[in-house]
Amino acid sequence: MTNTLRVERAIHRFTQEELARRIGVSRQTINAMEASKYVPSTALALKLAQVFGKPVEALFQMKHDVLLTF
Amino acid sequence: MRNKLSTSQLGWVLALTGLTLYILEQTQLLDLPPLLRWLPALWNDSQPDLRENHDLYALLFVVGALLAACSRERYEDEYIGQLRLEALLGALYMYCGLLVLAILLVSGMGFLRVMMYAMFAPLLLFLGLFQLSLRRAQRTTPAHD
C-alpha cells in the first residue's frame, strides 16, 4: 500500500503534529503511515480524507504487483 | 496535576520493586520476616503453611509488569494498539522458542528452575518488546516535520 499523505500534508502546510491533532492520533502514527510502515483503519483513512478534502483512494493506493494478484 | 504517577509508571515501580527485592533476597543482602504470613494457601501439600516472601515479590512483579505493559500510553491510538499486539505475538513466539531450547538442553532438577523463570518470561518478553517498538517508533519520528 502506498500513499500521498506527505505530499498532501505539504500542500496543506500541516506539520505532522497538527495533522495528528486534527485526526486524534499520535505523531508517531502519522510518521509510520507516511513511511508506509502502518496501514490505517478505514475510520482513520476516512478522517484523513475529510481533512484533505479528497476521496480515500486519492490518498491510498494499492501497489501494482498486489493488484495483479487479484 | 502534572507530576501525578501514571498507571504505567506505577506498574514500573511495582515491577522493579518486586524484582529488586527478589534479587536482594537471593543474594542474601536482605532478610525480611515472612510478610505474607497472614495469607493462607488453599493448596499446600509440601511444607508448613508459611508463605515465603518470593510469593510477594512475584505478585508485585506480575501486577506491576501487567500495569506497565497494558496501561494506556499518553497518546494511545490504533497504531500503538497494533504495536502492542505485535509485541504480544512476538513474545509468544520467543517464549515458545526458548521453551523448546530449554526442553532440549535442560533436564532433571535444573528444569524446575527453568519452569520458575518460564512463569514470568512471557510477561517480561512482552514488556521488553513493546517498549522497544515504542522507542523505535519515537526514534524514527523526526522532531519537527
Are A31 and B142 an interchain contact pair (Cβ–Cβ within 8 Å)?
yes
Cβ separation A16–B79 shorter than 8 A = no
Domain extent, residue B96, equals 76-145
Q: Which long-range contacts (CB under 8 A, 24 or more apart) does B5-13 make?
A: B6/B71, B6/B74, B7/B67, B7/B71, B7/B72, B8/B67, B8/B68, B8/B71, B8/B73, B10/B64, B10/B67, B11/B63, B11/B64, B11/B65, B11/B66, B11/B67, B11/B68, B11/B69, B11/B71, B12/B64, B12/B68, B13/B64
ipTM: 0.82
Residues B92, B137 within the same domain:
yes
The domain at A2-68 falls in which architecture?
A: Orthogonal Bundle (1.10)
Residues B94 and B116 grouped into a single domain: yes
**Are both B81 and B67 inside the same structural domain?**
no
Name which of A10, A12, A40, A37 is nearest A25 in CA terms: A40
Interchain CB distance below 8 Å, B79 and A27: no
Instruction: Give the residue from B71, B97, B120 where a domain finishes.
Output: B71
Residues B66 and B107 in one domain: no
Based on the domain organization, do B67 and B91 belong to the same domain? Answer: no
Answer for the pair B11, B66: CB distance below 8 angstroms, yes or no: yes
Same domain, yes or no: B58 and B97:
no
Match 496535576 to its residue by C-alpha cell.
B1
Of the three residues B16, B47, B71, the one that is the final residue of a domain is B71
Instruction: Report the domain count for chain B.
Output: 2
User: pLDDT per position in chain B (145 positions), as tens?
Assistant: 445 678 889 999 999 999 999 999 888 888 888 887 777 777 777 666 677 888 899 999 999 999 998 888 877 899 999 999 999 999 999 999 999 999 999 999 899 989 988 999 999 999 999 999 999 998 888 877 7
| B93 and B119, same domain (yes or no) | yes
Q: Where are the domains of chain A?
A: 2-68
- Which residue in B78, B79, B132 has the most chain A C-beta atoms within 10 A of its own C-beta, making it the best mutation to test that interface? B79
Residues B40 and B95 in one domain: no
Same domain, yes or no: B67 and B117: no
3-state secondary structure at position B106:
coil
